[in-house]
Amino acid sequence: MATSRSLSLGGLAATLIASSCLLSGAQAQYYKIGSVAEIKESARTLAYDLMLFYQGNKTGEIPGILPGPPDDGKGDYYWWEGGAMMGTYIDYWHLTGDPSYNHVIEEGMLHQTGPDHDYMPPNHTASLGNDDQGFWGMSAMLAAENKFPNPPDDKPQWLALAQAVFHTQAAPDRHDETCNGGLRWQVPPTNMGYNYKNTIANACFFNLGARLARYTKNETYAKWAEQTFDWLWDVHYIDHEDWRVYDGGHVEHNCTDINKAQFSYNAALLTHGAAFMYNYTSGSTRQKWADRIENLVTGIKRDFFPDGVAYELPCEGRLGACTADMLTFKGYVHRWLSVVTQIAPFTAKTILPLLWTSAEAAVKQCTGGATGRVCGFYWSNGTFFDPAVDSTTGAGEAMSVLAAVSSLLIEHADPPATNTTGGISKGDPNAGSNSKGATREMAPITAADRAGAAILTILVLGCAVGTFGWMSFGD
């Protein structure tokens, strides 16, 4: 959303506080985060409660995914959100040392790779977005960086899976000359949204390239990453004045009809990838990435942490406006920004206080349900809202609070590993070569192949009687 937070604030918070549907705030706070021991215990309980939303470890269910997709009436969640949840648990294990869910994560991550081990499983290929595939690839990359236990030798390995996703997205068939480059949102040309080039798909591609560059020391990945960021800048999806990060535009308008919706995960993912590029580079190039990080962090703090608490700008102020996708974003922001403080340490003095203040507000409102510890989405007021008013007590909300709490342990955790600093995952330079449309080797970067990436949620911004109407299309 291009307008300021004023459109968001007056609505939901004031309405719900005044409403008789607001639950009593007298319920005692369940979660404590005053010490490392308390953080780990709170994270342990949050991880247990989040797993209650997951059915993939039960007989007859599908490993790796949350109940869904909504279009089929199977649940609220799209395929990519399963990959995001896998990443949340990989971080949980890395930060707390609790291996309780490692077998579930390995099973889910491997089950969804597809026959070509590229995170394009047949059941989801027809509706595949570049960002959907990208989220699974980033979780595989996270497993490599966190030294998550390797799969058996006869199974695809974490680093190779991340490479396969990147290579399929770098292939010429994913790129064209429209808008002077950039990945489209959707992969199949028949899908709604194929004519849309958005930030999240390009941010996933950029992020994965930056991390592969740092892990493998292969400069080709870094060139793709830098070119992708430059494309986002050149097409003005990143505002040149205040560094707001916008959603995307349509190819028939040469991507000039920019949807100025701002989503926290877009800005946070670009910041995360920029930190990896900062850590990988040196000299004047490193300073360029440092400047980009500082500008992005300033924008994130301004737009998404009012009063120091995570706030989803485009939807949080209006009843029912946040989709199931958006209800997960706060968790990614906490996870990614925490890692930024490790590999771009100059950011710690700004980011760490935000993460603490936000996590404190998050756990304060987890007082719902029969257990008295169910978490909702609205953190700013520290009060759990009745789900009958606005249905916000699902897996996304639980995932976000788990991420916020476990990320408080970042100062006690090892930074992301590389193949020269103890990484244990095996790569494959030919990963993705058997995928439909993928090349046998990484194609050299040319002007015709400029890469960006796309988002998972396409929002059409409309204005009527001074209010904004939003339409969210799932994958």
Calpha distance 125→145 (Å, rounded)? 27
Torsional sign, CA 339, 342, 348, 353: positive
- Is the pLDDT at 7 greater than 80, yes or no? no
Rg (CA), the chain: 21
Which one, of 198, 85, 175, lies nearest residue 446 by Cα? 175
> What pLDDT, on the 0 to 100 scale, is given for residue 13?
39
The pTM score is 0.88
In this prediction, residue 27 has a pLDDT band, given cuts at 50, 70 and 90, of low
Calpha distance 407→98 (Å, rounded)? 14
What number is the average pLDDT over the span 245-253? 98
- Is the pLDDT at 23 greater than 90, yes or no? no
- Is the pLDDT at 206 greater than 60, yes or no? yes
- Is the pLDDT at 457 greater than 60, yes or no? no
Calpha distance 331→433 (Å, rounded)? 33
- Is the pLDDT at 451 greater than 60, yes or no? no
| C-alpha of 399 from chain center | 12
- Is the pLDDT at 1 greater than 80, yes or no? no
What number is the average pLDDT over the span 428-443? 66
What number is the average pLDDT over the span 165-180? 96
**If you average pLDDT over every residue of the chain, what do you get?**
87
Who has greater pLDDT, 39 or 388? 39
How many Cβ atoms sit within 10 Å of the Cβ of residue 449?
Answer: 18
Lowest mean pLDDT among 38-52, 123-137, 369-383, 426-440: 426-440
> What pLDDT, on the 0 to 100 scale, is given for residue 435?
86
> What pLDDT, on the 0 to 100 scale, is given for residue 68?
92
How many Cβ atoms sit within 10 Å of the Cβ of residue 34?
Answer: 9
Per-residue H/E/C for 363-386: HHCCCECCCCCECCCCCCCCCCCC
Largest interatomic CA distance in the chain? 62
> What pLDDT, on the 0 to 100 scale, is given for residue 387?
76
Q: Which residue has the tokens 């808008």?
A: 179
Who has greater pLDDT, 5 or 37? 37
What percentage of the chain has pLDDT greater than the value 70?
Answer: 86
Phi first, then psi, for residue 397 (nearest 5°) are -65, -40
Q: Tens of pLDDT along 72-125?
A: 888 999 999 999 999 999 999 999 999 999 999 999 999 999 999 999 999 898
- Is the pLDDT at 454 greater than 50, yes or no? no
> What pLDDT, on the 0 to 100 scale, is given for residue 4?
30
What number is the average pLDDT over the span 221-244? 98
In this prediction, residue 418 has a pLDDT band, given cuts at 50, 70 and 90, of very high
Lowest mean pLDDT among 189-193, 439-443, 457-461: 457-461
Lowest mean pLDDT among 258-262, 359-363, 447-451: 447-451
Calpha distance 357→360 (Å, rounded)? 5
Domains of the chain: 6-473 (1.50.10.20)
Q: Tens of pLDDT along 348-362?
A: 999 999 999 999 999
Amino acid of residue 322:
C
How many Cβ atoms sit within 10 Å of the Cβ of residue 412?
Answer: 12
- Six-digit token string for 372: 């008295």
What number is the average pLDDT over the span 310-319? 92
- Six-digit token string for 18: 């005044």
- Six-digit token string for 394: 């699902």
Calpha distance 185→450 (Å, rounded)? 15
Is there a contact between 329 and 261 (Cβ–Cβ < 8 Å)? no
3-state secondary structure of 196: strand
Lowest mean pLDDT among 158-162, 284-288, 367-371, 386-390: 386-390
Calpha distance 278→446 (Å, rounded)? 23
> What pLDDT, on the 0 to 100 scale, is given for residue 317?
84
Per-residue CA distances from 165 to 172, 272, 441, 444 (Å): 14, 18, 13, 17
Note the residue count of the chain.
475
> What pLDDT, on the 0 to 100 scale, is given for residue 234?
98
DSSP characters over 111-159: HTSTTTTSS--HHHHTT-BHHHHHHHHHHHHHHHHTTPPPPPTTS--HH
What number is the average pLDDT over the span 173-200? 96
> What pLDDT, on the 0 to 100 scale, is given for residue 460?
28
> What pLDDT, on the 0 to 100 scale, is given for residue 53?
96
> What pLDDT, on the 0 to 100 scale, is given for residue 431?
96
